[in-house]
Structure 1
Amino acid sequence: MDYTQLGRTGLKVSRLCLGTMNFGPATTQEDSFAIMDHAHELGINFFDTANVYGWKKGEGITENIIGRWFAQGGGRREKTVIATKLYGGMGDWPNEDRLSALNIRRACDASLKRMQTDYIDLYQAHHVDRNTPFEEFWEAMDILKQQGKILYVGSSNFAGWHIAKAQETARRRNSVGLVSEQTHYNLLVRPAELEVIPVCEDYGLGLIPWSPLAGGLLGGILRKIDKGRSASENIVRELEKHRSKIEQYEAFCDELGADPADVGLAWLLHQRVVTAPIIGPRTLAQLDGNVKSLDITLDEQALARLDEIFPGFKTAPEEYAW
Structure 2
Amino acid sequence: MEFTYLGRTGLRVSRLCLGTMNFGPHTEEADAHRIMDVAHEQGINFFDTANVYGFGENKGRTEEIIGSWFAQGEGRRERTVLATKLYGDMGAWPNEGKLSALNIRRAVDASLKRLRTDYIDLYQMHHIDRATPWEEIWQAMEVLVAQGKIIYVGSSNFAGWHLAQAQEAAKARGFLGLASEQSLYNLLERSVELEVVPAAEHYGIGLIPWSPLHGGVLGGVLRKEREGVRRASGRAVETLGVKREQIAQYEDLAAELGHEPGDIALAWLLTRPAVTAPIVGPRTLEQLHAAVRALGVTLDQKTLDRLDEIFPGRRPAPEDYAW
**Which residue number corresponds to residue 102 of structure 2?**
102
**Which residue number corresponds to residue 273 of structure 2?**
272
**Which residue number corresponds to residue 178 of structure 1?**
178
**Which residue number corresponds to residue 131 of structure 1?**
131
Residue type matched to 1:316 in 2?
A: A
The alignment's C-alpha RMSD in Å is: 0.8
Cα distance in 1, alignment partners of residues 213 and 303 from structure 2: 18
Cα distance in 1, alignment partners of residues 130 and 59 from structure 2: 26
Q: Aligned with 1:182: secondary structure?
A: strand
Q: How does 1:1-322 map to 2 (within 5 A)?
A: 1-57=1-57, 59-228=59-228, 229-322=230-323
Residue type matched to 2:27 in 1?
A: T
Q: Aligned with 2:218: secondary structure?
A: coil
Cα distance in 2, alignment partners of residues 238 and 107 from structure 1: 35
| Residue-by-residue CA offset, 1:81-113 (whole Å, 9 max, x unaligned) | 000000001000000000000000000000000
8 Å CA contact retained: 1:210, 1:278:
yes
Residue type matched to 1:259 in 2?
A: E
Residue type matched to 1:196 in 2?
A: V
- Give the superposition deviation at 1:240: 1.6
| TM-score, normalised relative to structure 2 | 0.99
Q: Aligned with 2:212: secondary structure?
A: coil
Q: Aligned with 1:218: secondary structure?
A: helix
Identity %: 66
Cα distance in 2, alignment partners of residues 117 and 125 from structure 1: 19
Residue type matched to 1:2 in 2?
A: E
- Give the superposition deviation at 1:238: 1.4
Unaligned runs of 5+ in 2: none
Which ranges of 4 or more aligned residues in structure 1 deviate by more than 4 Å?
A: none
- Give the superposition deviation at 1:234: 3.1
Go from structure 1 to structure 2 and tell me whether the alpha carbon gap of 1:105 and 1:129 turns closer, same or farther (over 3 Å shift): same
| Residue-by-residue CA offset, 1:9-31 (whole Å, 9 max, x unaligned) | 00000000000000000000010
Q: Aligned with 2:219: secondary structure?
A: coil
Unaligned runs of 5+ in 1: none
8 Å CA contact retained: 2:215, 2:235:
no
| Residue-by-residue CA offset, 1:152-207 (whole Å, 9 max, x unaligned) | 00000000000000000000100000010000000000000000000000000000
How many aligned residue pairs are there? 322
Residue type matched to 2:69 in 1?
A: W
| Residue-by-residue CA offset, 1:107-151 (whole Å, 9 max, x unaligned) | 000000000000000000000000000110000000000000000
8 Å CA contact retained: 2:221, 2:231:
no
- Give the superposition deviation at 1:231: 2.5
| TM-score, normalised relative to structure 1 | 0.99
- Give the superposition deviation at 1:314: 0.5
Cα distance in 2, alignment partners of residues 58 and 103 from structure 1: 19
Cα distance in 2, alignment partners of residues 178 and 118 from structure 1: 21
Q: Aligned with 1:215: secondary structure?
A: coil
- Give the superposition deviation at 1:57: 4.4
Q: Aligned with 1:123: secondary structure?
A: strand
Go from structure 1 to structure 2 and tell me whether the alpha carbon gap of 1:58 and 1:139 turns closer, same or farther (over 3 Å shift): farther
Residue type matched to 2:253 in 1?
A: F
- Give the superposition deviation at 1:227: 1.5
8 Å CA contact retained: 1:218, 1:246:
yes
8 Å CA contact retained: 1:49, 1:63:
yes
Cα distance in 2, alignment partners of residues 44 and 118 from structure 1: 21
8 Å CA contact retained: 1:68, 1:115:
yes
- Give the superposition deviation at 1:233: 4.1
Cα distance in 1, alignment partners of residues 263 and 59 from structure 2: 34
Go from structure 1 to structure 2 and tell me whether the alpha carbon gap of 1:58 and 1:222 turns closer, same or farther (over 3 Å shift): closer
| Residue-by-residue CA offset, 1:16-56 (whole Å, 9 max, x unaligned) | 00000000000000100000000000000000000000003
8 Å CA contact retained: 1:186, 1:214:
yes
8 Å CA contact retained: 1:58, 1:91:
no
8 Å CA contact retained: 1:58, 1:90:
no
Q: Aligned with 1:316: secondary structure?
A: coil
